């Protein structure tokens, strides 16, 4: 179970995420209502250092932006699209969470997805899977996600909220989940209550899967 709250823009949201005991909090450096500059993100992240991973979230970034993020924000983890990584120069010690999107895989059910995965390059050890666009509440394809989750540590994102995260976890059985718009009271404004509700629902769903695995070992 790995829980991440993404698109943090306020000290109250950082506090709520930390009190909920999440594993990671994400700060967005891509075009978005949640975009921050690295200096502001560093200020907000200060209470989280050593308590949760501080993730720099980018999309098709220029190297100059990456260098500024590294210099001023010093992320524990860089999250960016899988296709972005070959062009970037990154410190060896920096963890990376590659993003794979539903649109990059066939949408047909059954063998088409399996065949695409079988013919693709080896997957990263861990990746984040979401819909075509980040931060707009668009759900990923859960069937695609389920097949991916059998092959890698998959963090499921896209359209999740407290009301559907249990169903998503039950269908996909991911390594973890990531939420942004699903815990907001308005675009870019995280709700501490919704963060708490989401984390509680996700933990309960993961606990149920763990319980079932002990009841019905393979």
Q: What is the CATH number of the domain that holds 70?
A: 3.20.20.70
DSSP state of 62: -
CA trace torsion 41, 43, 46, 47 (10° rounding) = -100
pTM of the prediction? 0.90
Q: How far apart are CA 175 and CA 169, in angstroms?
A: 9
Question: How high is the pLDDT of residue 25?
Answer: 98
Each residue's pLDDT tens digit, 115-168: 555 655 678 999 999 987 776 667 888 988 999 999 999 999 999 999 999 999
Q: Is 129 strand, coil or helix?
A: strand
Which sign does the torsion angle of CA 82, 183, 200, 51 carry? positive
70 CB burial (10 A radius; 0-12, 13-18, 19+): middle
Total number of domains constituting the chain = 1
Give percent above pLDDT 90 in the chain. Answer: 78
Higher pLDDT, 218 or 83: 83
Q: How far apart are CA 177 and CA 165, in angstroms?
A: 8
CA trace torsion 164, 53, 82, 106 (10° rounding) = -10
Angle among Cα 160, 114, 77 to the nearest 5 degrees reads: 45
- Helix 142-149 and helix 165-172, axial crossing angle in degrees, nearest 10: 50
Q: Domain span at residue 50?
A: 2-215
């Amino acid at each position: 179970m790995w829980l991440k709250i993404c698109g943090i823009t306020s000290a109250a949201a950082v506090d709520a995420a930390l009190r909920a005991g999440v594993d990671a909090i994400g700060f967005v450096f891509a075009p978005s209502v949640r975009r921050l500059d690295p200096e502001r993100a560093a200020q907000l992240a200060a209470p989280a250092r050593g308590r949760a991973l501080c993730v720099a979230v980018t999309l098709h970034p220029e190297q100059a932006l990456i260098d500024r993020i590294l210099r001023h924000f010093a992320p524990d983890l860089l999250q960016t699209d899988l296709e972005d990584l070959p062009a970037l120069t990154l410190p060896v010690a920096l963890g990376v969470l590659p993003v794979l999107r539903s649109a990059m895989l066939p949408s047909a059910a059954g063998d088409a997805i399996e065949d695409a995965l079988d013919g693709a390059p080896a997957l990263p050890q861990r990746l984040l899977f979401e819909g075509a666009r980040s931060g707009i509440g668009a759900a990923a394809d859960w069937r695609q996600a389920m097949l991916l989750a059998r092959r890698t540590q998959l963090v499921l994102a896209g359209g999740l909220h407290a009301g559907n995260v249990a169903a998503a976890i039950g269908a996909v059985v991911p390594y973890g989940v990531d939420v942004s718009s699903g815990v907001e009271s308005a675009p870019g404004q995280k709700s501490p209550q919704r963060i708490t509700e989401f984390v509680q629902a996700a933990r309960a769903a993961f606990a149920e899967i763990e319980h079932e695995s002990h009841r019905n070992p393979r």
